[in-house]
Amino acid sequence: MDTKVQHDSAAPMIELRGISKSFGPVQANKNINLKVNKGSIHGIVGENGAGKSTLMSILYGFYKSDSGEIYINGKHINITDSHVAIEAGIGMVHQHFKLVENFTVLENVILGTENSFLINPALNNARVLLSDLASTYSLEVNPDALIEDLSVGHQQRVEILKALYRQADILILDEPTGVLTPAEADHLFNILRNLSKEGKTIILITHKLKEIMSVTDTVSVMRRGEMTATLETSKTNPQELAELMVGRSVLLRVEKDTTEVGDKSLEVHDLSVTDKRGVTALKNVSFHVRKGEILGIAGVAGNGQTELLEALGGISPATGTMKIDGEEIPLLGKGSDARSKREYGVSHVPEDRQKLGLILDFFAWENIAFGYHHKDEFNRNWLLMDNGKTREIAREEMAKFDIRPPTPNNLVKNFSGGNQQKIVLARELEQHPKVLIVGQPTRGVDIGAIEFIHQKIIDLRNKGVAILLVSVELDEIFSLSDRVAVLFDGKIIGERITEETNESELGLLMAGIEDGSGEQPVMESVA
Amino acid sequence: MDYLTIIQILDSMLRLSAPLIFACLAGLFSERSGIFDIGLEGKMLASAFFSAAVAAATGSVWLGLMAGLTASMVLAAIHGFASITFQGNQLISGVAINFLASGMTALIGQNWFRLGGRTPSLSGDGRFLPIEFPFAESIGKIPFLGPIYSELLSGHTILVYVALLTVPFTWWLLFKTRFGLRLRAVGENPEAVDTGGVSVSFLRYRAVLICGLLCGLGGAYLATGMAAGFIRDMTAGKGFIALAALIFAKWRPAYALYACLLFGFLEAIAIRYQNITIEGVGTIPVQFMQALPYILTIVILAGLVGKAIPPKAGGEPYVKER
């Protein structure tokens, strides 16, 4: 059955032409073109939010593209929903598994492909097929086990089996190793190699360059919704890919004097975070920030940045120690919440300002007080808030931070991204923190506002505040920070003085290649 | 308490459980598909009214039943519209349906019959009549086992038997068929169904309509089988008791039957023993006995009978585009 006559044998197995997709104002995919040959393993790399998952969801019919065409095996196919994609031989293993947790493996495998009114024939059929597949591809899994009792590695096998049961010729895997142990990941790659030997075409989405290098034949790089390059894996190297992923836009350098750095203000030792799924997101992270110093945390998104910010900001619990000016403050339990952190003088500008930093349907003046609304300056007495005064304060701060329009009686959702960010900054900076923790300060912010925000952060540093800057924008790290630590896979993989390093060196660290490992020669900066 | 009394209490337990079984299974279909439905009460009430009204007008209980089912399914479709197509709040939609049914039946009833919201009393072909099993009289004379056949099993209206048969049928549909597999899946993880190439909305609509059908049967039974006509707000919280039974039953058909029988049993006791005197305690007032099913409802809903895990995707509209 695998030697079907193809009406055009030279046609690629998958061809995407001009795929575009927006979610509201966010353009997730811009005019994507891609060709993948039959029987090959094709990798797609890019940072979180680069549009990889969206693109594959379009191919699988989960989202509809705004424009563009899809050809499978040379035939134009209008993939209107997942059913059409399945019919066309496409199977997908999603990053977050689409399994029914209280169903057995067999029930999950046949769901949607039962073929008859009673499910018994399909269950029996699947049982036989599963044992065949298990031996062919080392995809062993107990067919009668409940999904919720299986390890994530086995759950993933079920997803692959689901696709194979539907006779998929094309298998898309979205960040398949994110939840796997290294041994499980190795086993998965063996499975993928076997599948490609049998003529299956595989698309592997990941942001881990090591995986791309070890298992793929060809690789495409995505950045900010665009496909920036497609290369043969054997003719590239992790460093080139890292540069393509992170990109190098025009540097916006900020005037920065050297300042006297003071004592250690923020100290963090052995910070670890385990997320709800039991996956360790941060492992024994230690660092310190001195007064009047900016420590930049660089890294490809999704390597623990969010968890670091949330642990230090008091949003989620963590283990380890955190000290402000030598005084230990809790990371877990009583006194570890966001309000207590503020009391200790830690201000937090969250990376997702719309979710954690602001209430969009509230006025600007209300948002200016949030988190500090219990303080005397915003209250008339123990019962009543002083709205008039809060508005006045908001008006002053909005003028100071050049927030446009400078009207406190404006809903926050009606401000642009840059001005929204300035509202958060105004609120946090006007409280004169000892330590500022700031995540992705200029994400989605226009250029003018970027300069202003950068200047404010530098000013604060010059006043002697210790600043932890978490950013996936390498440019931002370079222009602001005094020292850089690189976060990879939940660990700080290296630390450099900003002046003494370059983008190539950091790019290697961001790709998880530690110095001294001898894997890659350190090249001179191309910039 | 003699043997025959026990049999008679169990007999009224069956009679009183039937509407609960219908409503509970109705809720089971809806909630298993991920659509919470607190409008069981309203749908039963609408069906009770329209079945009694049409039966009174035409003299045919079967036409009445059809009218009742239609009314209940129309309300079910409205709930489906609100919660599936328009992705609205399922609780609010359910509450609205309850109010709508309560007000509408009283209003239309008064307008049509001028009896203060009641329908005329039904008789003859306007009601479902008890079905006597063959040889009930003679088998009943057999000691011990006889009365079980003649008193307990025989002598109910057809809808009681339908209710009892719906339980194994539901089990079979849920656990042995493609529809059931998908229904259970869509209430747990609609994305799994969607990525399997199956329409989430269509599945949920079917579940909601089955819910309407079963509520309709329950309501029609109340007005044309158990009673002889419609009385204002005659469901008296049965839809909510059925919901409690559903939680008690952990959304499983067989347990649903047991839970409904328990509620029916409590009601039967309350009717049989208006005043129970316990030595040393005194007489327990009738109001307390009548309140027992409702007290049990609160106990169950407060989670005092162990942890009940509802279908995971229940109550959440399925939104694919982020």
Average pLDDT per consecutive 10 residues, chain B (322 residues; last block may be shorter)? 86 95 97 96 97 94 96 97 94 96 94 89 88 85 84 90 97 96 96 91 97 97 93 92 92 95 91 77 80 84 76 88 50
Interface test with B, best of A22, A83, A111 (most B CBs within 10 A): A111
pLDDT in tens, chain A (527 residues): 444 444 445 689 999 999 999 877 678 899 999 999 999 999 998 876 678 888 998 999 888 899 999 999 999 999 988 889 999 999 999 888 899 999 999 999 999 999 899 999 999 999 999 999 988 888 889 999 999 998 888 999 999 999 999 999 999 998 888 767 767 888 899 999 999 999 999 999 987 778 888 899 999 998 888 898 999 999 988 778 877 877 654 445 566 777 778 899 999 999 999 877 677 889 999 999 999 999 999 987 778 898 999 999 999 899 999 999 999 999 988 888 999 999 999 999 999 888 899 999 999 999 999 989 999 999 999 899 999 999 999 999 999 998 888 889 999 988 877 889 999 999 999 999 999 999 999 876 766 678 889 999 999 999 999 999 999 878 789 889 999 999 988 999 999 998 888 877 887 888 787 764 434 443 333 33
Whether A60 has its CB under 8 Å from any CB of chain B: the answer is yes
Q: Name the residue facing B196 among A112, A119, A120 (closest C-beta).
A: A112
* CA geometry: angle B127, B132, B133, nearest 5 deg: 140
Question: What pLDDT is recorded for position A138?
Answer: 84
* CA geometry: angle B16, B17, B18, nearest 5 deg: 95
DSSP string across B115-126: STT--PPP-GGG
Query: Residue ranges of the alpha helices (H) in A138-200?
Result: 152-165, 182-197
Domains and CATH numbers, chain B: 3-301 (1.10.3470)
Residue B22: name the closest of B317, B270, B263 by CA. Answer: B263
3-state secondary structure of A32: strand
From B205's Cα to the closest Cα of chain A, the distance in A is 17
Q: Is A42 exposed, middle or buried (0-12, 13-18, 19+ CB in 10 A)?
A: buried
Q: How many Å apart are CA A323 and CA A328, to the nearest integer?
A: 4
From A100's Cα to the closest Cα of chain B, the distance in A is 6
DSSP state, residue A318:
-
CB contact under 8 A, B179 and A102: no
3-state secondary structure of A370: coil
Q: Name the residue facing B181 among A85, A102, A114 (closest C-beta).
A: A114
Whether A107 has its CB under 8 Å from any CB of chain B: the answer is yes
Q: Name the residue facing B197 among A23, A101, A112 (closest C-beta).
A: A112
Tell me which residue has tokens 């952060």. Answer: A457
Beta strands in B154-308 (DSSP E): 276-278, 282-284
Question: What pLDDT is recorded for position A121?
Answer: 94
Question: What pLDDT is recorded for position A9?
Answer: 53
Which H helix or E strand runs over A95? none
Size of interface A-B (CB pairs under 8 A): 77
Question: What pLDDT is recorded for position B321?
Answer: 55
Within 8 A by CB and 6+ apart from A65, the residues are A19, A20, A21, A29, A58
3-state secondary structure of B224: helix
* CA geometry: angle A10, A12, A13, nearest 5 deg: 125
Whether A116 has its CB under 8 Å from any CB of chain B: the answer is yes
State which residue of chain B sits closest to A102, comparing Cα positions.
B188
CB contact under 8 A, B195 and A114: no
| Upper half-sphere CA count for residue B261 (Cβ side, 13 Å) | 13
CB contact under 8 A, B197 and A108: no
State which residue of chain B sits closest to A82, comparing Cα positions.
B197
Structure tokens at A483: 């020292």
Residues of B with Cβ-Cβ distance to A114 under 8 angstroms:
178, 181
State which residue of chain B sits closest to A159, comparing Cα positions.
B192
Interface test with A, best of B195, B250, B312 (most A CBs within 10 A): B195
Phi, psi (5° rounding) for residue A362?
-105, 165
Structure tokens at A19: 């795929």
Q: Name the residue facing A62 among B180, B181, B195 (closest C-beta).
A: B195
Q: Name the residue facing A116 among B178, B197, B322 (closest C-beta).
A: B178
Q: How many Å apart are CA A8 and CA B260, to the nearest integer?
A: 64
CB contact under 8 A, A98 and B189: yes
